[in-house]
Chains A and B, each alone.
Chain A
Amino acid sequence: MKKHFSPALAGIVAALVLVPGLAIAEESGHHEIPRQPWSFSGFTGQFDKAQLQRGFQVYKEVCSNCHSLKRIAFRNLVQPGGPEFPEAAVKALAAEWPNKITDGPNDEGKMFERPARLSDPILGPYKNDEEARAAQNGALPPDLSLMARARDVERESPWYIHPFLMLGDILKGYQEGGADYIYAVMTGFEDPPAGFHMVEGKYYNTAFPGHQISMPPPLSDGAVPYQDGTPQKLDNYAHDVAAFLSWAADPSLDQRKRIGWQVILYLIVTTILLYIGKKRIWSAIKH
């Protein structure tokens, strides 16, 4: 048995290393959304707290002018595994958040507006989709809470390479298609190629499906003043906000991977012990 295994295993490993390389070489002409290095990528990656804080700043100062983040409550910004802002600061932030919470009815049966509390969701400027469309020339700025999970990057590959790419992604623990996509959209604004017909009021974007997006380029160098000395470049803004939205879409990522390692280690050790036990039991008979 063992003699058959090692060449097969070596073959698989070689294929995993070589084939994706060949695939990429083969397709260099094709425009594909490139993968970015993320602190939270792969099966060991964790969020970078400072990056999440910068990403939230980008969201607050730019994205939140149009987009809500309704599945994230202010209290989530304090919780471990996220940006982990101090609670007092987030309380103040919630109280000052320009988009108020509609509450009620009060004693007189009237709905009223009040400042947000820690337990309230992070709302955008519009009360409903209709108001958003009316304000945005018919376009709807989507809620961003799940954006990093609701988008993915399709990889085009020939059929004989596809299984190896799939296996490689599973083994690497690749789940960052959404973040790669967000980065690509943020940095993908360009002048349309010659002869490309643009609809009035749309912007050309290399990553957006169909290349015509209603959102004007939201970020540019120097748009958001960073406090921690990180260069104020579009590239950094795009990475930071994509990381922040990845956290917003999957706030338990850090905990998930941490527990994951404990579970996997437990299972491996138990499997080995069970295998030793099984060998001992079966050693009583020939099989």
Chain B
Amino acid sequence: MSGHTSTYKPTSRWGKWFDERLPIARMMHGQFVDFPTPRNLNYLWTFGGILTFILGAQIITGVVLAMHYQPSAAGAFDSIEQIRRDVNYGWMIRNFHAVGASMFFFAVYIHIFRGLYYGSYKAPREVLWILGVIIMLLMMATAFMGYSLPWGQMSFWGVTVITNLFSALDTIINGLGTAIVEWLWGGYSVSGTTLNRFFSLHYLLPFVLTGVVGLHLWALHTAGQNNPTGLDLKEPSDSVPMHPYATSKDAVGLFAFLILFAWFVFFVPDYLGHADNYIEANPLVTPPHIVPEWYFLPFYAILRSFTSTFLWIIPLGQYAKLCGVVAMFSAVLIIAFVPWLDTSRVRSAKYRPIFKWFFWFFVFTCVALGYLGSRPAEGVYVMWAQIFTVCYFLFFLVAMPIIGLIETPKKLPRSITESVLGGSTAMPNGVAASPEKR
């Protein structure tokens, strides 16, 4: 996988025999036991492991749910209720899966913000970063289709609204958008046929996702992990073996995260959902507010912010919807270009006094867009959504390229070891004063 050679030594004759034929244990040992990890990783680096866990958990709970679920317009809603009421611990499996989707996004957003803050996208990790964006897109598609499966009111109308986005293409080529939408639906409206294909894809995509996660890990273990200083590993003392150092820290992070996860599963399972989704889908009744799940809200706010007049002066007219759709997809895709939009050679925002502020303002922008996406699209909310949409894109298109050119970074430590040990010999309180053992 990478330049790092495994120190694996088979201990048994059988192990030696197997290693000569398929060195999988050698590879696993090299990649996940003695793989060199930076010694200064903080708890934000435990989210990769957390995400891997959630992916596995989602697949396992999902496979069990699929054993009881009926993907048809007549049976879907009832079968979910049957799972909740009559399947042994069905309520728990279902809560784990539904809350798990939210936890997946919560963890992935932290993971992405961590990457943005510490410059984990910069050379030589561009491919790693782009694979991450692909993973996020696959997650979004999977989550969207998964949310349609309970076939409640919000499921049905969410599918209707989002698939209808493609009809915006009608303003470019008349009939093209409608043709695409009808192709997606498998009919002239959202129906059981649509539900059926969404179920099929919802079952397929997580395995595609798993494959891309494999590539993501491969790219990670080729370039090596970034770290809070953003410096490369230069000397042996910069790193510690993955096991037991990183693994013990990952375990703490994972279990702490699971407390949050379990809190939602057992005490507030409906908090992240919508009451409307406990009403069976009804094509004749539109809910008063159609709102996507919280993790789509920032993108939903961007979509809706494009009204016929954008920011008082820009007339969009009939192209408003198309602009909204293009902006929403661009908002995700633009993240893939970050490695080239950022002109600074310093990776970590720790040493970038100006970028740091813009980063936190960007976090605020995303949260603000999320809030605005949950509000009705009227009055002052639309104006603020427009302003923050502009802020969102300005961060990538203006702030990132310009700050790198004008900013004087702080002095970087010579190495990770120096940043950890410091220049002085004084030991801070509570730190074991034992020398490096490796």
Question: Which residues of A are in contact with B by a Cβ distance under 8 Å?
Answer: 43, 71, 76, 145-146, 149-152, 159, 162, 169-170, 173-175, 177-178, 209, 249, 251-252, 256-257, 259-261, 263-264, 267-268, 270-271, 274-275, 277-278, 281-287
Contact = CB atoms under 8 A, between A and B. Distances in A.
A41 to B, nearest CB: 11
Given A150-B279, A256-B266, A285-B39, A264 B259 contact: yes
Contact of A286 (B92, B275, B420): B420
Contacts of B245: 281-282, 285
A178 B433 CA distance: 58
Contacts of A278: 248-249, 251-252
B248 A150 contact: no
B267 A150 contact: no
B109 interface: no
B156 to A, nearest CB: 14
Contacts of A76: 85
Nearest to A173: B267
Contacts of A260: 262-263, 265-267
Nearest to B371: A159
A274 B259 CA distance: 14
Interface residues of B, number: 47
A267 B84 CA distance: 24
The 4 A-B pairs with the shortest beta carbon distances in the complex, nearest first, are A260-B266, A152-B275, A150-B278, A173-B267
Contacts of A173: 267-268
B434 interface: yes
Nearest to A177: B275
A251 B85 contact: yes
A149 B276 CA distance: 8
A178 B256 contact: no
Given A151-B275, A260-B265, A287 B420 contact: yes
A285 B436 contact: yes
Contacts of B85: 71, 76, 251-252
B344 to A, nearest CB: 27
B81 A267 contact: no
Interface of A is mostly: helix
Nearest to A43: B267
Interface of B is mostly: helix
A71 B274 CA distance: 20
11 contacts: A71-B85, A150-B275, A169-B271, A173-B268, A175-B271, A257-B267, A260-B267, A268-B259, A274-B248, A284-B437, A287-B420
B257 to A, nearest CB: 9
B118 to A, nearest CB: 17
A263 to B, nearest CB: 5
A162 B381 CA distance: 15
A267 B432 contact: no
Contacts of A263: 262, 266
A76 B81 CA distance: 14
Interface string B2-40: 000000000000000000000000000000000000011
By CB atoms of chain A within 10 A, which of B85, B270, B288 has the most? Answer: B85
Nearest to A264: B262
A256 B437 contact: no
Given A170-B263, A277-B248, 7 more contacts: A152-B274, A152-B275, A256-B92, A264-B263, A267-B262, A282-B245, A286-B433
A281 B249 CA distance: 9
B258 A267 contact: yes
Contacts of B84: 252
A178 B437 CA distance: 60
B421 interface: yes
B306 to A, nearest CB: 22
